[in-house]
Amino acid sequence: MDFQFECQDNCLIIKLYGTAEANERLLSREALKKKLENSPRRVIVDLSGLKEDENPYILGILSTMKKEVQTLGGSIKVCSLRPKLFHYFQEHRLDKIFDIYRTMDQAKRSFKEGHREE
Protein backbone atom coordinates (compact mmCIF):
# COMPACT_ATOMS: atom_id res chain seq x y z
CA MET A 1 0.00 0.00 0.00
CA ASP A 2 1.20 3.50 -0.76
CA PHE A 3 0.64 6.58 1.40
CA GLN A 4 0.65 10.13 0.08
CA PHE A 5 0.79 12.97 2.62
CA GLU A 6 -0.23 16.55 1.83
CA CYS A 7 -1.18 19.60 3.88
CA GLN A 8 -4.28 21.48 2.69
CA ASP A 9 -6.50 24.01 4.45
CA ASN A 10 -4.78 23.40 7.82
CA CYS A 11 -5.39 19.63 7.53
CA LEU A 12 -3.04 16.72 6.95
CA ILE A 13 -4.47 14.72 4.05
CA ILE A 14 -3.43 11.09 3.83
CA LYS A 15 -4.31 9.36 0.57
CA LEU A 16 -4.11 5.58 0.55
CA TYR A 17 -3.47 3.64 -2.66
CA GLY A 18 -3.27 -0.02 -3.53
CA THR A 19 -4.06 -3.01 -1.37
CA ALA A 20 -3.50 -3.33 2.37
CA GLU A 21 -1.27 -6.17 3.53
CA ALA A 22 -1.04 -7.91 6.91
CA ASN A 23 1.91 -5.86 8.21
CA GLU A 24 0.67 -2.54 6.82
CA ARG A 25 -0.66 -1.38 10.20
CA LEU A 26 2.85 -1.10 11.64
CA LEU A 27 4.20 0.64 8.56
CA SER A 28 1.37 3.17 8.61
CA ARG A 29 2.06 3.93 12.28
CA GLU A 30 5.70 4.81 11.64
CA ALA A 31 4.92 6.91 8.56
CA LEU A 32 2.16 8.78 10.39
CA LYS A 33 4.28 9.51 13.47
CA LYS A 34 6.92 11.19 11.33
CA LYS A 35 4.37 13.30 9.45
CA LEU A 36 2.44 14.37 12.56
CA GLU A 37 5.50 15.86 14.24
CA ASN A 38 5.22 19.14 12.33
CA SER A 39 1.78 18.85 10.75
CA PRO A 40 -1.73 19.91 11.68
CA ARG A 41 -3.49 17.58 14.10
CA ARG A 42 -6.57 17.61 11.88
CA VAL A 43 -6.22 14.53 9.70
CA ILE A 44 -8.32 13.35 6.77
CA VAL A 45 -7.76 9.87 5.36
CA ASP A 46 -8.83 9.67 1.70
CA LEU A 47 -9.67 6.10 0.67
CA SER A 48 -10.59 6.84 -2.94
CA GLY A 49 -7.37 5.19 -4.17
CA LEU A 50 -8.17 1.80 -2.65
CA LYS A 51 -9.46 -0.99 -4.81
CA GLU A 52 -13.17 -1.76 -4.60
CA ASP A 53 -12.55 -5.18 -3.08
CA GLU A 54 -10.31 -3.87 -0.29
CA ASN A 55 -9.73 -6.40 2.45
CA PRO A 56 -10.27 -5.99 6.21
CA TYR A 57 -6.63 -5.00 6.83
CA ILE A 58 -7.70 -1.42 6.14
CA LEU A 59 -9.54 -1.46 9.47
CA GLY A 60 -6.28 -2.11 11.34
CA ILE A 61 -4.58 0.72 9.47
CA LEU A 62 -7.39 3.18 10.23
CA SER A 63 -7.54 2.13 13.89
CA THR A 64 -3.80 2.64 14.26
CA MET A 65 -4.00 6.05 12.60
CA LYS A 66 -6.91 7.10 14.80
CA LYS A 67 -5.07 6.07 17.95
CA GLU A 68 -1.89 7.95 16.97
CA VAL A 69 -3.77 11.13 16.05
CA GLN A 70 -5.92 11.08 19.19
CA THR A 71 -2.87 10.45 21.38
CA LEU A 72 -1.50 13.78 20.10
CA GLY A 73 -4.81 15.55 20.77
CA GLY A 74 -5.90 15.54 17.15
CA SER A 75 -8.95 14.47 15.23
CA ILE A 76 -9.28 12.16 12.25
CA LYS A 77 -11.92 11.86 9.52
CA VAL A 78 -12.27 9.25 6.76
CA CYS A 79 -13.62 10.07 3.32
CA SER A 80 -14.24 8.76 -0.19
CA LEU A 81 -14.97 5.13 0.62
CA ARG A 82 -15.99 3.08 -2.38
CA PRO A 83 -19.53 1.60 -2.09
CA LYS A 84 -18.46 -1.93 -1.12
CA LEU A 85 -16.13 -0.70 1.64
CA PHE A 86 -18.73 1.83 2.85
CA HIS A 87 -21.31 -0.96 3.19
CA TYR A 88 -18.75 -3.09 5.05
CA PHE A 89 -18.28 -0.22 7.52
CA GLN A 90 -22.03 0.18 7.95
CA GLU A 91 -22.70 -3.56 8.38
CA HIS A 92 -20.05 -3.79 11.10
CA ARG A 93 -21.11 -0.49 12.72
CA LEU A 94 -17.70 1.03 12.04
CA ASP A 95 -19.45 4.25 11.05
CA LYS A 96 -20.03 4.66 14.81
CA ILE A 97 -16.27 4.54 15.46
CA PHE A 98 -14.97 6.56 12.50
CA ASP A 99 -16.22 9.93 11.25
CA ILE A 100 -16.99 9.05 7.64
CA TYR A 101 -17.72 11.57 4.87
CA ARG A 102 -18.56 11.10 1.22
CA THR A 103 -16.13 13.73 -0.05
CA MET A 104 -12.93 15.47 0.96
CA ASP A 105 -14.75 18.82 0.99
CA GLN A 106 -17.33 17.53 3.48
CA ALA A 107 -14.57 16.28 5.77
CA LYS A 108 -12.75 19.63 5.60
CA ARG A 109 -15.97 21.54 6.29
CA SER A 110 -16.68 19.37 9.33
CA PHE A 111 -13.43 20.55 10.91
CA LYS A 112 -14.41 24.18 10.31
CA GLU A 113 -17.94 23.66 11.58
CA GLY A 114 -16.81 21.54 14.50
CA HIS A 115 -19.35 18.74 14.03
CA ARG A 116 -19.98 15.59 12.07
CA GLU A 117 -21.90 15.58 8.79
CA GLU A 118 -23.61 12.54 7.36
Contact in structure between 90 and 30 (CB atoms under 8 Å): no
Q: What is the pLDDT of residue 54?
A: 58
With respect to residue 98, please indicate whether it lies within any of the assigned structural domains: yes
In Å, what is the CA distance from 95 to each residue of 16, 58, 116?
19, 14, 11
With respect to residue 16, please indicate whether it lies within any of the assigned structural domains: yes
**Enclosing domain of residue 109:** 2-113
Closest by CA position to 99, among listed 64, 53, 71, 62: 62
Q: What is the pLDDT of residues 7-49, one digit of tens each?
A: 998 999 999 988 877 777 777 777 788 888 878 789 999 999 8
Query: How many domains would you assign to the chain?
Result: 1
Q: What is the DSSP letter of 111?
A: H
CATH code for position 48: 3.30.750.24
Q: What is the DSSP letter of 37?
A: T
